[in-house]
């Protein structure tokens, strides 16, 4: 079997429990199943030193990583990836910074990484590149003569043509994408938006799964990312989680717990979620003293202003709502600004009657899937899910809401609170059917199978 070479902005850790961030967790699972090389940035900055690879080995996985300089980090990662592509691809042109220097830095880092990976490649490797940091990576590898099959998976949404064309370098980036053999998107909607650009903007054509433009043909399909459903179910029913649960139930004293778990990011709809809690407490006074939102949101990208601003906004909103409604023995919003370990997270999911997952826009959202898989099938909680999360496509049996509509979200919370056991079980069964069939192994195998047969004769 061909070796798998995975390429992503951040690598690892390849041993021990995964850290917060859907991509890291998902990718490690893919490499474990097949063995191979994981290549990318160490996550460290070094003072303008030579680009030198560092190696780490764990079982059948090798990690090869390199430091970035401060300038590279500022232009490539903080700059073009996170202040331009991230907001733009989440439809937030208002937060998008267009800066030519950042774009040049982004291309240079892609080239630097491709220069380093090239000599490590074997002729029959299959190369799987991840996410928006690395759009031009295949183009840079091909400049070194790479002829291997190269696939790309976009973890975030793909924007509509009208938004994408606000980016001055859109044509160059899209042309670069055509150096891949296979493009994977989270949902059919993302795929449709990509195809729209190919036809209307690039003057290309579509035939089945094949897209042709810029003189090249590639395969483009949707592969909704999943979770390790069986493993999570097993963990949720294990003795250590059951012990955690008992402790948590004691502290809850019969109150309904709503759980939110998100990286602290403006796409996740956290201020709007707190506003929905405010509506709930105002419109349904019986919730006071009886319902609480436990929001776990570790800081991410803390060095960017937009992220500092959202953190401040949340702290002030939580303070305002708690100041107004809290009682001596009850606080409506418990807001925890750090990551928690997997076992505690699983116990928190299972002890929460309602999972509140309300991003304004999200590629997929793994928390929604984790929440459902962690439930007790005999007495499951209810998922309230944003219609703008990619996961909504597969999770129609959740209570789907528009996160911009605080009234609708608070009504859905009420519906979830009072949902009869039988309906909760039915919805849970329907959701689980999908989560079991379309799990992380299914995602990985479908993508890799297609990558295997995707090298067309160009
Ligand atoms: P993210 O935006 O990071 O991922 P998500 O899919 O929800 O979002 O994944 C988050 C992961 O981190 C989950 O596995 C969750 O359990 C974990 N996590 C989050 N907060 C945590 C905390 N406080 N403590 C511990 N663990 C925490 C990007 C895209 C998504 C897409 C994924 C995968 O933005 O749309 O679903 O990649 O493709």
Please report the pLDDT score of residue 250 as a whole number. Answer: 84
User: Whole-angstrom Cα distance, residue 317 to residue 327?
Assistant: 17
- Both tokens of residue 209? 């799964």
Query: Which pLDDT tens digit goes with each residue over 302-343?
Result: 889 999 999 999 999 999 999 999 999 999 999 999 889 989
Nearest CA to ligand 1 atom 38: 155
- Residue with CA nearest ligand 1 atom 14: 22
Quote the CA–CA distance of 418 and 412 in Å, as a whole number. Answer: 10
Cα angle, residue 350 at apex, residues 349 and 356 outer, rounded to 5°: 40
Q: What per-residue confidence (pLDDT) applies to 458?
A: 43
Cα–Cα distance measured from residue 432 to residue 20, given in angstroms and rounded to the nearest whole number? 23
Residue 18 beta carbon below 6 angstroms from any ligand 1 atom: no
pLDDT computed for residue 310 by the predictor:
92
Question: In which residue ranges of the chain is pLDDT below 50?
Answer: 20-21, 456-458
Instruction: Tell me the best of 6, 21, 334 to mutate to test the pocket of ligand 1, counting ligand atoms within 8 Å of each CB and taking the most.
Output: 21
Class of the domain covering 4-226+440-453 = alpha beta
For position 34, what pLDDT does the model report?
Answer: 79
Half-sphere exposure of 249 toward its Cβ, with a 13 Å CA cutoff?
9
Helix, strand and coil content of the chain, in percent to the nearest 5, comes to 50, 20, 30
Share of the chain above pLDDT 70, in %: 96
Q: What is the pLDDT of residue 186?
A: 98
| Protein residue with least CA distance to atom 4, ligand 1 | 22
Prior bond to 13 cis, omega within 30?
yes
Phi, psi (deg, nearest 5) at residue 412: -65, -35
Q: How far is the CA of 280 from the centre of ligand 1 (A)?
A: 26
Known active-site residue 362: yes
Which structure tokens are listed for 251? 């502290």
pLDDT of residue 77: 97
**Which residue among 22, 228, 265 is best mutated to probe the pocket of ligand 1, counting the most ligand atoms within 8 A of its Cβ?**
22
Residues 130, 7: contact at Cβ < 8 Å? yes
CB-CB neighbours of 207 under 10 Å: 8
What pLDDT score was predicted for residue 303?
A: 85
Core vs surface per residue 433-444: b (16+ CB within 10 A) or e: ebbeebbbebbb
Query: Where, residue-wise, is CATH 3.40.50.2000 in the chain?
Result: 4-226+440-453, 229-437
- Quote the ligand 1 centre to 142 CA distance (angstroms): 32
- Beta-sheet pairing, 210-213 with 205-207: antiparallel
Catalytically annotated residue among 126, 130, 133, 155: 155
CATH topology of domain 229-437: Rossmann fold (3.40.50)
- pLDDT at residue 33 in the model: 76
Does 90 contact ligand 1 (Cβ within 6 A)? no
What does the block give as tokens for 257? 């717990």
Question: Do the beta carbons of residue 358 and residue 329 sit within 8 Å?
Answer: no
How far is the C-alpha of 342 from the C-alpha of 392, rounded, in Å?
Answer: 24
Distance from residue 309's CA to the centre of ligand 1 (Å): 21
């Amino acid at each position: 079997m061909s070796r798998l070479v995975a390429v992503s902005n951040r690598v690892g850790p390849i041993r021990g429990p995964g850290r917060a961030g859907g991509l890291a967790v998902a990718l490690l699972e893919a490499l474990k199943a097949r063995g191979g090389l994981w290549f990318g940035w160490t996550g460290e900055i070094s003072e303008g030193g030579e680009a030198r690879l560092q190696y780490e080995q764990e079982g059948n996985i090798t990690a090869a990583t390199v430091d970035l300089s401060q300038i590279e980090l500022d232009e490539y990662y903080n700059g073009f990836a996170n202040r331009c592509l991230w907001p733009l691809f989440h439809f937030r042109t208002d937060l998008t910074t267009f800066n030519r220097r950042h774009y040049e830095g982004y291309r240079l880092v892609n080239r630097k990484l491709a220069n380093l990976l090239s000599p490590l490649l074997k002729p029959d490797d299959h190369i799987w590149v991840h996410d928006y940091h690395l759009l031009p990576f295949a183009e840079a590898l091909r400049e070194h003569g790479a002829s291997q099959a190269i696939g790309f998976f976009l973890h975030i949404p793909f924007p509509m043509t009208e938004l994408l064309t606000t980016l001055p370098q859109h044509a160059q980036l899209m042309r670069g994408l055509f150096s891949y053999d296979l493009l994977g998107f989270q949902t059919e909607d993302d795929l449709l938006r990509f195809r729209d650009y190919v036809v209307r903007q690039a003057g290309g054509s579509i035939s089945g799964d094949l897209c042709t433009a810029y003189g090249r043909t590639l395969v483009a399909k949707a592969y909704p990312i999943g979770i390790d459903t069986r493993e999570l179910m097993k963990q949720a029913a294990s003795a250590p989680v059951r012990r955690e649960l008992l402790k948590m139930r004691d502290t809850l004293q019969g109150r309904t717990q709503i759980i939110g778990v998100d990286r602290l990011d403006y796409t996740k709809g956290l201020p709007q979620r707190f506003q929905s809690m405010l509506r709930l407490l105002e419109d349904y006074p019986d919730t006071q003293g009886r319902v609480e939102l436990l929001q776990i949101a570790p800081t991410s990208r803390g060095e960017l202003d937009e992220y500092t601003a959202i953190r401040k906004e949340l702290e002030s909103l939580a303070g305002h709502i708690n100041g107004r409604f809290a009682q001596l023995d009850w606080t409506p919003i418990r807001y925890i600004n750090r990551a928690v370990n997997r076992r505690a997270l699983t116990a928190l999911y299972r002890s929460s009657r309602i999972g509140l997952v309300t991003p304004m826009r999200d590629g997929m959202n793994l928390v929604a899937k984790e929440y459902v898989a962690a439930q007790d099938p005999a007495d499951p909680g209810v998922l309230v899910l944003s219609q703008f999360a990619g996961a909504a496509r597969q999770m129609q049996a959740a209570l789907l809401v528009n996160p911009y509509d605080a009234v609708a979200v608070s009504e859905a919370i009420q519906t979830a609170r009072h949902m009869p056991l039988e309906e909760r079980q039915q919805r849970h069964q329907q959701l689980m059917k999908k989560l079991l069939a379309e799990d992380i192994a299914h995602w990985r195998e479908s993508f890799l199978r297609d990558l295997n047969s995707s090298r067309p004769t160009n």
